[in-house]
Amino acid sequence: MLQKLHEEEKVVVGGDMRAFSPGHSAKFGSYTIMKLENNKVFDLQLVQSNEVGGSYHMELEGLKRSLELLKERGVTLDCIVTDRHLSVQKFLSESSITQFFDVWHIEKGGTGGLHPLHITTDKRKWMAAGTPAFCKLEKILSNKRILKAVAKLSPHHQTSSLEAFHSIILRFAPKNVVFPFLGMFYR
* pLDDT in single tens digits along all 187 residues of the chain: 888 988 998 899 999 998 877 656 788 889 999 998 999 999 999 999 899 988 889 999 999 999 999 999 999 999 999 888 889 999 999 999 999 888 765 655 544 464 455 566 676 667 777 888 888 888 887 878 777 777 677 677 777 888 889 889 888 888 888 788 898 888 8
What's the alpha-carbon Rg for the chain, to the nearest Å?
Answer: 19
Sign of CA dihedral 181, 62, 51, 57: negative
Name the packing angle between helices 86-94 and 58-72 (round to 10°): 30
Domain ranges of the chain: 2-102+154-186, 107-153
CATH of 2-102+154-186, one of 1.10.3470, 3.40.109, 3.40.50, 3.30.420: 3.30.420
Q: What is the pLDDT of residue 160?
A: 82
Closest C-alpha to 11, from 81, 89, 114, 83: 81
